[in-house]
């Protein structure tokens, strides 16, 4: 295996802390916030993260596949989650200490509950509005009511972090700057 070549493309409006472990070819979109102590590993293929995402502490995002791992816009990765999905849509929440395997693709507006393991053996796509919750990782469909509320809250959350994080952390800039 050839050594991993680091190439970080970080949008000028993104907030990425210095104390973040990045490896491989990584692109981070506008307004995305990466807390300190997060880990993003592009072992094989590159990772592309959209805009407005929040990636909290101790999150691990890994791409083991050759193809590009695409993460959409306004997703929330909570503390200590581990994500290896080849693709993630928009407005998803991956809750604290949950784990999503590389066999799962996530569409839009999905929620992986706290501590849930989503580790199917066969490839699977989570439809829009799928909620995984509970100790047995049960699934249900969300009606979508309250999503405007949630999107609004997510935006405020990101705005707040964008203001506060640079006050207490050194930031990382992309290769271009």
Partner 1 sequence: MAPSVLYHCPCLSTSDIPPPPHLPSSSHSFHPLNTLFFCEECDAVRCNRCVSVEVSSYYCPNCLFEVPSASVRAEKNRCARNCFMCPNCRNTLAAVPADPESGDGRIPAGVAEGPYIMYCNYCRWDSAEIGITFEKPTGLAAQLQKYEDSAPDSLEFDRLKEHFDAFLRTSALAASTSGTHHHSTHHSHSLHTNSITAAASAALARDIPGVGKYNPLARSTTGRGYGKDRSVNKDEMTEYRSRSEIAQTAGAGGGEPDVELMNSLEEVGEVASLEQRWENSWVTPLQTKQLKPIRIPLHSKRSKRCPACTHILIKPEQKSQSVRYKIKLMAANYLPGIVIVLPHMRQLRDELSKRNLGKSVAAQVDEPPPGMVAGNTYEFQLNLTNPLYDPIEVRLSVQRVHVSTAPGGTAEKARRPPFAISLPTAKFPISPFAEAWEYEDDEDMFGVEDDELGIGMGSSLSASVRGGREKDGRARPKTVGVLERKANKTVVGGEVVIGKEAQGNVKFNMLVSYTYRSDDAEGGDLGVHPSKPEIRRFEFYTVVDLGPIISREEARMDL
Residues that bind partner 1 (CB under 8 A): 111, 113-114, 131, 133-134, 140, 142-143, 145-149, 151-152
Q: Which of residues 35 and 99 has its CB atom nearest to partner 1 in the complex?
A: 99
Q: DSSP characters for 55-98?
A: E-TT-EEEE-SSSPEEE-SS-EE-TT-EE--SEE-SS-EE-TT-
Nearer to partner 1, 16 or 111 (CB): 111
Q: Which two tokens stand for residue 134?
A: 């509970």
Cβ of residue 134: shortest distance to partner 1, in angstroms? 6
- Looking at the Cβ atoms of 109 and 172, the one nearer to partner 1 is 109
Closest distance of CB 165 from partner 1, Å: 23
What whole-number distance in Å separates Cα of residue 92 and Cα of residue 73? 9
| Nearest CB to partner 1, comparing residues 136 and 176 | 136
Distance of closest approach, residue 114 Cβ to partner 1, in angstroms: 8
**DSSP secondary structure code for residue 44 in this structure:** S
How near is the Cβ of 60 to partner 1 at its closest, in Å?
13
Residues 6+ apart with CB under 8 A from 27: 8, 9, 10, 46, 47, 48, 49
User: Among 148, 145, 114, 144, which Cα is nearest to 127's?
Assistant: 144
- Copy the structure tokens of residue 170: 């050194």
> What Å distances lie between residue 52 and 39, 41, 128, 143, 158, CA to CA?
18, 20, 19, 24, 7
Tokens 């935006």 sit on residue: 155
Nearer to partner 1, 16 or 106 (CB): 106
Considering the complex, what minimum distance in angstroms separates the CB of residue 140 from partner 1? 6
């Amino acid at each position: 295996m050839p050594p991993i070549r680091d190439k970080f493309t970080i949008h000028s409006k993104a907030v990425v802390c210095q104390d973040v472990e990045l490896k491989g070819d990584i692109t981070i979109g506008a307004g995305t916030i990466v807390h300190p102590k997060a880990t993003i590993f592009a072992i094989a293929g590159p990772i592309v993260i959209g805009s407005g995402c929040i990636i909290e502490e101790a999150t691990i995002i890994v791409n083991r596949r050759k193809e590009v791992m695409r993460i959409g816009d306004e997703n929330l990765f909570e503390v200590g989650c581990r994500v290896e999905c080849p693709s993630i849509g928009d407005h998803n929440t991956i809750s604290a200490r949950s784990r999503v395997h590389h066999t799962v693709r996530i569409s839009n507006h999905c929620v992986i509950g706290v501590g849930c393991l989503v580790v199917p053996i066969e490839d699977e796509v989570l439809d829009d509005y799928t909620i995984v919750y509970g100790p047995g990782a049960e699934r249900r469909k969300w009606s979508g009511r309250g999503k405007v509320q949630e999107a609004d809250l997510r935006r405020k959350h990101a705005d707040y972090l964008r203001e506060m994080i640079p006050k207490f952390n050194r930031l990382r800039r992309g290769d271009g700057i």
